[in-house]
């Protein structure tokens, strides 16, 4: 069941070959109160923002720690779908704003972009 938490409940029901009502009944029997698709999607969006804001080679210690925390939370949510652990991560909007500010600051400090990284004499 948890292998389908990353897709909407309608898609999950179709993948499992049952109707949504039956899937919801099974979820209630297993103790899953709400389908966690939105929680997982939020976390996946955060990962994308962090990865696109900084390349893997240039992830700062702060952003690397945040990425690890986000991925750990995703794994935890997949194991415990009733958890509210995703709330501790904050909002996607604030993460996007922080990443945009970091990118703007890097451009100002880093010089003229890719040409700045060329060795002398080229």
Question: Over the stretch 63-93, which tens digit does the pLDDT of each residue have?
Answer: 788 888 888 888 888 888 888 888 777 777 6
Per residue, the 3-state secondary structure of the chain, as one string, reads: CHHHCCCCHHHHHHHHCCCHHHHHHHHHHHCCCCCCHHHHHHHHHHHHHHHHHCCHHHCCHHHHHHHHHHHHHHHHHHHCCCCCHHHHHCCHHHHHHHHHHHHHHHHHHHCCHHHHHCCCCC
Tens-digit pLDDT profile for residues 27-71: 999 999 999 999 999 889 888 888 876 555 566 777 788 888 888
Phi-psi region of 86 (alpha: psi -120 to 50; beta: other; left: phi over 0): alpha
Contacts of 120 (CB under 8 A, 6+ apart): none
The distance of Cα 5 from the centroid of its chain, to the nearest Å, equals 14
Overall pTM surpassing 0.75 (yes/no) = no
């Amino acid at each position: 069941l948890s292998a389908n938490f990353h897709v909407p409940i309608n898609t999950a029901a179709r993948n499992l070959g049952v109707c949504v009502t039956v899937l919801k009944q099974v979820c209630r029997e297993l103790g899953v109160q709400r389908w966690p698709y939105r929680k997982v999607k939020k976390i996946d969006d955060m990962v994308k923002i962090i990865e696109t804001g900084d390349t893997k080679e240039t992830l700062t210690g702060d952003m690397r720690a945040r990425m690890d925390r986000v991925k750990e939370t995703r794994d935890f949510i997949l194991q415990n779908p009733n958890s509210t652990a995703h709330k501790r991560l904050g909002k996607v909007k604030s993460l996007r704003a922080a990443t945009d500010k970091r990118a703007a600051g890097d451009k100002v400090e880093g010089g003229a972009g890719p040409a700045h990284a060329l060795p002398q004499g080229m």
